Chains A and B, each alone.
Chain A
């Protein structure tokens, strides 16, 4: 997530500069890490679905994954005569965003109609905000670089069209189905200035934006489900030039990683076009995850005239000072502060903290697990036999390691894991107490993630618990030493090398007798005592 530092100028290995121009002695490598003389310019438009219980202008439920056209009413279907009533919670959420990103919130903002025809838009206009949005002029600091955020405004989402037949594409489909459940879901559009200079920086901005929106509780920010949608305005220009090149807008980017790939692809494509003497066409392009390319959306690139005008069915939004003060007072901890706190409190690295905050819900999960761990310690192992000790850092290692890996593989979210945070704490406790080894713990974790059993239960079910009890381990060793009196004698007579060899033999026999579940530390100590003590 850290943008590469500006590298020191390097000498190109194989200069390809045309002969008629003076070849530079060195080539500038930009923030974007490229040394090709082009600078990348990116601005991001982020649409966030707000996680309110009801839609923006009606009482219909705002929920994902319902039967088509069940969360609808005259208002969100745009039936003749129906009128919008603004959901006050959406304004509150917008005000939270205003606080979090240091926006100016004007005394009043105005909804406007954005007019265009599309079948999944019930009124054939989108109620949005235009020249008087609720938030103006904010910023977000990303790894020490300030990205200016032009504006944030409230608007309604559209329905969803499914094209049936002909491979599911609009142009050769047999027919199309429209689901209006999403129509009227509240969105916040957050538009950055073209301040971003690398794909890494774009990813870091989007990631920090997402973490912040998550922290202030306004959205579930799931890029895969479309509750956070990032469109990238990308252009390139000659390094050192201060004008802007023609930009394209890339849509359909479904993850932070894809965002980086799409921007890199667009950068390379535009440079290729320009270096071949062509012109970049201002257009909307569609990112295809499978072929790793952006494709022109084939829309006739006429400039749309949306004929914006103030929405006459709504009155201006004028948040009261009381409302704004209440929002300010209730602001939760933001990601930057949270990272600092976790680094200090848990003795983890910045990188670990950043990783926790980089996946929605992951830091919450880790914090819940650490709380559970502390509770376990407070209970002095009363709760779970054999689980004791462990540190927050152990938790974080599991979370950023195996658990993050599992989430990546399955596409699941931390909240949906069958391994509850308290169960992870239990696992860490079992390892810390020596009940199981870390290697065993990995297997236990895998099973717990698969079927939701508690780690302690899995340990019991599989008979995994290490034998640490001194008297039982002592009698096993006594038996082995007695049965191998020759070897004991050889040990005692031998040099260091021979002793080491024999000692290994005794350990191996003991482990064999214990089916591998003897606590190696305790065994080692007892073995030393008995071999030396008896001698």
Chain B
């Protein structure tokens, strides 16, 4: 990356200021003419250039495309006036590498897709562009979104901006780290079992997993189709709502997309929580090995909401404890089928074994998958293949689907008495790189609080709730029934005001 001539007079403080601002603030500044979209983009690209060598939030930075897009928006403002600008004009966004971007490398963190240039944009990417937001790069991730630390990326891990020796969480670790490090005020991730909320918690940012079907999955490289959902990262609750509202809504290209209109979030964001009933989920709070500071943060969240006028009580969602095992049958089962298409025939990596001309399609297929997939992906493909096998289907996949039905029922019962639910996002704060790579089960447990929401197809988000004794961010999770985003965001906003985290905290690490 190199700065263009017009950037020479820009000083470091100015860049630092622009990369600290919220998306809402940047959009307003671009609209008012205080800064140009190009200045905003250049400031963020400069910060990426300076710091991403140590964070590794990006697999691919689209500097040229971002500058061209910024220039086009600036030209539009000059010719058609500020009113002509779309709502997020000039706001940089990091895009998880699982989202297809036309002509821009999309690897899903896997060798098997290295060099693949999608011929089409994911619906959310197209909507992002229509909103005026500017994609600055493709964010690192656990290979095919399988993982909770971004260490499963074939292209090396992302480092937590708060402590470079620790993981950012995963699988959307690159997106979370990019927002935490000031590389972009917004990012898109995907959440299959907590892949947005867990890294948001570990990186001290807001992360939202919307209701299943609320955001289009068209162009999202599938991990587990019945669980995957795209959602926003931001440093403020308002920014997260802005991004969600830019990309959500019915998409005829996704058959599981919900056709009912979206209830806008922003108009009610500041309405407060007075009179709302909030339930603290016992099964997601009394988790084995939970860090005391995480429990303390949750207690503080309860107090903050009570002070703001909400009614708090404890609630049981009994089947939630079966979420983790059910998830690790359903998700790998679907993944084993979704990932079958990576066979070396049409796109991506192709490995031809043996003497030239001696291999057949099956041998090429096997060699390609052997070389192209990492250990965790292989593990889950095998798990899923087994779970779907004749004679085991009922005991595994079938049983897991029955658990899923129970979880949905139990949440429904809870929501008869509560508007939203509350829990920690993760049992612990960010763990050191390498700590759990040899212990898949320990790694899986870091998603224990987030998984039930995916199984239920409901909404949930993680809000920064302060720092632990080591200066690492803690997250609390607000859970809402399906299509309950508006009330969920109101509660999140109240917690944001109460914790005052966004206003004061910046990662100390690389900044």
Q: Chain A residues in contact with chain B, CB under 8 A?
A: 74, 77-86, 113, 115, 117, 119, 122-125, 170, 174, 176, 178, 305, 307-309, 312-315
A178 and B345 within 8 A (CB): yes
Residues of B within 8 A of A113 (CB): 337
Q: Which residue of A lies closest to B216 (CB)?
A: A83
Residues of B within 8 A of A124 (CB): 340-341, 343
B340 and A115 within 8 A (CB): yes
Interface check B494, CB cutoff 8 A: no
Residues of A within 8 A of B345 (CB): 119, 178
A312 and B225 within 8 A (CB): yes
Q: A117-B340, A122-B346 are in contact. Are A313 and B393 (CB under 8 A)?
A: no
Stretch at the interface among B384-392, B409-417, B427-435: B384-392
B385 and A176 within 8 A (CB): no
Of B336, B343, B357, which contacts A174 at CB under 8 A?
B357
Q: A83-B217, A307-B385, A314-B255 are in contact. Are A125 and B225 (CB under 8 A)?
A: no
Q: List 21 A-B contacts (CB under 8 A).
A: A78-B346, A79-B100, A79-B119, A80-B113, A80-B221, A80-B341, A80-B347, A82-B218, A83-B255, A84-B255, A115-B336, A117-B343, A125-B337, A125-B340, A178-B345, A307-B336, A307-B385, A307-B388, A307-B389, A307-B393, A313-B217
Nearest CB of B to A184, in Å: 13
Nearest CB of B to A442, in Å: 54
Residues of A within 8 A of B333 (CB): 309
B341 and A122 within 8 A (CB): yes
Q: A115-B337, A115-B388 are in contact. Are A312 and B253 (CB under 8 A)?
A: no
Interface check B399, CB cutoff 8 A: no
Q: Lowest 9 A-B CB distances belong to which pairs?
A: A124-B340, A307-B388, A312-B225, A312-B226, A80-B221, A81-B219, A81-B100, A119-B361, A81-B221
Q: Known contacts A80-B341, A83-B253; can you find 12 more A-B pairs with CB under 8 A? A: A78-B346, A79-B119, A80-B100, A125-B340, A170-B360, A307-B336, A307-B390, A312-B334, A313-B217, A313-B222, A313-B225, A315-B255
A80 and B226 within 8 A (CB): no
Nearest CB of B to A185, in Å: 18
B341 and A78 within 8 A (CB): yes
Q: Is the interface of B mostly helix, strand, loop or mixed?
A: loop
Nearest CB of A to B96, in Å: 12
Q: Which residue of A lies closest to B100 (CB)?
A: A81
A77 to B343 alpha-carbon distance, docked (Å):
13
Residues of A within 8 A of B119 (CB): 74, 79
Residues of B within 8 A of A312 (CB): 224-226, 256, 334
Residues of A within 8 A of B226 (CB): 312
A85 and B252 within 8 A (CB): yes
Q: Per-residue CB proximity of B71-115 to A under 8 Å, as 1/0? A: 000000000000000000000000000011000001010000100
Residues of A within 8 A of B217 (CB): 83, 313
**Which residues of chain B from 247 to 299 have a CB within 8 Å of any chain A CB?**
252-256
Residues of B within 8 A of A313 (CB): 217, 222, 225, 255-256
> B100, B252, B345 — which one has the most chain A CB atoms within 10 A of its CB?
B345
> A85, A122, A308, A309 — which one has the most chain B CB atoms within 10 A of its CB?
A309
Of B218, B255, B365, B389, which contacts A81 at CB under 8 A?
B218
Residues of A within 8 A of B221 (CB): 80-81
Of A80, A170, A308, which contacts B108 at CB under 8 A?
A80
Nearest CB of B to A128, in Å: 13
Residues of A within 8 A of B362 (CB): 117
Q: A305-B389, A315-B256 are in contact. Are A79 and B337 (CB under 8 A)?
A: no
